[in-house]
Amino acid sequence: MFSSGTTSSLAALLLLAATCFAQEPKTVPEPKPAPEEDPYASLPPKRAALERMISERGTPEAFEAAIKKAREQGVSDQAILEARFLYHVDRREDDKIAAMLPEFLRRKDDFKIEQSEIFAVKEDWLAVVEYVEAIDALKKNDRDGFKKHITEAFWLSPRQASAFAPHIDRMRLDEAMRTVKIDGSIKLPSLLAKDPLELATLMRDRKALLLHFWSPWSRECEASMPDFKVTATELEKHGVAVASLLAESTPDAAKDAKEIVAGLGDKPPGVWLLDREKDSLMRLLRIQNLPTMVLVSPEGSVIYNGHPSEDGLWDALSKLAPEVKRPAVEGH
C-alpha cells in the first residue's frame, strides 16, 4: 500500500537524476529525457552487479533480476543472502524475514567474513541470525522466544540497536492494545461537515472500522494520499468503514488538511474527522508516528495498530473480509 524505508547498516546509494530541458512551444520538439547515469558503470562487472543488487529497492521482480545478474557474475551466496535480508528489512516484510530463518541457521556456523558485504565482524552476523530468530518467534506469538533472541542480538551487536528496537515496540504495543476498547458512543468533530459524527454509526452493519490517523504537515502523509484513496475505496466496497482522523485540532491544521483532501476529488473516500482534545484517541491508542492505521472490530476491539505499509494490516483484513485484495500501489 504505502512505501516507507527502514534504516540499515548499509548507506543508501543515490542515483543521479536525469536532466530535463524546457520545450519551446510549437517550434522545438520536446527532447527525450536523458537516461539515468549508472553510478556503477566504472566498476568491474562483478562488483557493479553486487552493488546494484545490494542497492535495489524496487519491485520484487527488479530485485530478483538484480540477484540473477549478480549470480551470473559469480557473487557469493553469502552476499546474496545479505542483500535479500536488507531488501526485506527496508520493506518491513517480517513474514519474508522469518521465512529466511532456515537458510540463516544453515549458514550460522559457516559464515566467512571475507565473503560478507555488510558485516565488519562475525558478531554482527550472529546478531542478525538472532534477530531473524526473534522475528520468527514474534510471528508465532512466542513472547519468551522473542525476548531471548532479541536480547542476544543486542548483546552481540549493540550498534544495530536501531534495527532491533522497533520490534520490541511492536510487541509492547500489541500487548497494550489487548486491553483497549473503542467506545462507539464517542462523537468526533467533522473536518468537512458541521455536525459531529458518532463512531457507532460508522460501525453499524460493517465488518470493521479502519481509523487513519494523519497530518497535513507530514510529508509521508501527504505523499501517500493517492495510495490511501485507492485503498479506502477498495475497503469500503467490501464492508469496511474508513475514517480519517486529523491529529492536530488547530485552525491552521484544519485549513491545510482541507486543501489536501480537496485534491482527492469531489467525493474523497470515507469520513474525515478531528481527534478530540480531551481523552484523545491518539493517546488511547499510543500513536507516536503518522500515518498510522488502526483496525477496530464492530465491538470496539483493536485488531491492528501500526504503519499502513505493514503486512499485519492486510493479514487482519484478509481474515475479516477475504474478498478484499491489496491494491497494487507504489512500493508493492
Query: Could you give phi then psi for residue 97, rounded to 5 degrees?
Result: -65, -45
| Radius of gyration for the alpha carbons in the chain, expressed in angstroms and rounded | 23
The pTM of this model reads 0.66
pLDDT one-digit tens code per residue, 168-211:
888 889 889 999 999 999 999 999 999 999 999 998 999 999 99
> Three-state SS for 74?
coil
> Which is more confident, 175 or 101?
101
Kindly state the cell numbers that stand for 257. 488538511
With a cut of 70, say whether residue 162 has pLDDT above it. yes
pLDDT, average across residues 268-295? 94
Record the cell numbers describing residue 14, joined without a space: 543515490
Q: Is the peptide bond before 196 cis (omega within 30 degrees of 0)?
A: no
Give me the percent of the chain exceeding a pLDDT of 90. Answer: 65
pLDDT for the residue numbered 36: 64
pLDDT beyond 70 at 31: no
Using 50, 70 and 90 to split pLDDT, how confident is the model at 164?
confident
- Asked whether the predicted pLDDT for residue 295 surpasses 90, the reply is yes
Window from 119-123, 305-309, 327-331 with minimum mean pLDDT:
327-331
Which of 296, 326, 321 is closest to 311 using CA atoms? 326
In degrees, rounded to 5, the angle at the alpha carbon of residue 29 between the alpha carbons of residues 28 and 35 is: 120
What domains are there in the chain, each with its CATH number?
A: 45-170 (no CATH), 187-320 (3.40.30.10)
* Mean pLDDT of the region 212-225: 95
Mean pLDDT score of the chain, rounded to an integer? 86
Angle at 311 between CA 285 and CA 55, to 5 degrees: 115
